Structure 1
């Protein structure tokens, strides 16, 4: 009888431990899968072209110079910044491990957002609100994290 009591007490504990371990494992796997999906989008040809445009045609330019950009360039830039904002939203929501983002694309990400600042300022002046707030916030955190990580 002692064995049956012991088993009846132990089996729920084992079930809880297995469920908790399985949940943690699936959460990690889901976060890793989400990271790879976002990383693939970050490295896609469209986003790379938009990042290149931001560095070549936007960084350090005035609002007047940005007004001369063609519609195709503006569309590419907008798409790129939307992808960067979605990466930041995924980080803020905990769907992606922020440390992996920082280590794999942190410096590049922060550099792109810094290059996009004149464009973002211009859009804010035209629309009355600052677009891509999550991307700007994450870029600041990644810049700060790069200093911390380099000391580790």
Structure 2
């Protein structure tokens, strides 16, 4: 009888640990998926789409673009878009979201926009003295590789 109660107490602890670990894994997966949908919603929001469009029309392919000649509202929109993209890159780097999922859903668009915005990023670096969107640039480089 004592042996049976000892076995039951050991098995119940083991079952509790397994249930706790399994529950944590499920919670973690669901949280990562929820974070992905939140980031995707931000990336597809109207202000970010407008900013990406402005990156491609006002900066990309224009070898002699003078950033100071671009209207302030346009630069603000581009800056906001790059800040959102930097946030997405941070979330992938620290593992809050699955990088492969982000790459499959928005990877090409993300990398293209970051590389198109390099003249703007270079300008901001020359004015502020630091590179403003390092995570977005690193993530774009990984996506292109």
Shorter-chain TM-score tier: over 0.9
What is the rounded CA distance, in whole Å, between the counterparts of 2:89 and 2:41 in structure 1? 15
In the alignment, which residue of structure 2 is the partner of 1:148? none
In the alignment, which residue of structure 2 is the partner of 1:141? 142
Describe the shift of the 1:60–1:126 C-alpha distance in structure 2 as closer, same or farther (beyond 3 A): farther
Tell me the CA shift for residue 64 of structure 1: 5.3
In the alignment, which residue of structure 2 is the partner of 1:53? 54
Runs of 4+ in 1 over 6 A off after TM superposition: none
Q: Give the SS at the match of 1:67.
A: helix
What is the rounded CA distance, in whole Å, between the counterparts of 1:62 and 1:89 in structure 2? 30
Count of aligned pairs: 144
User: TM-score, normalized by length of structure 2?
Assistant: 0.95
Which sits farther off after the overlay, 3-12 or 35-44?
3-12
1:1-152 pair list within 5 angstroms:
1=1, 2-62=3-63, 65-144=66-145
- What's the RMSD between the two structures over aligned residues? 1.1
Tell me the CA shift for residue 3 of structure 1: 2.0
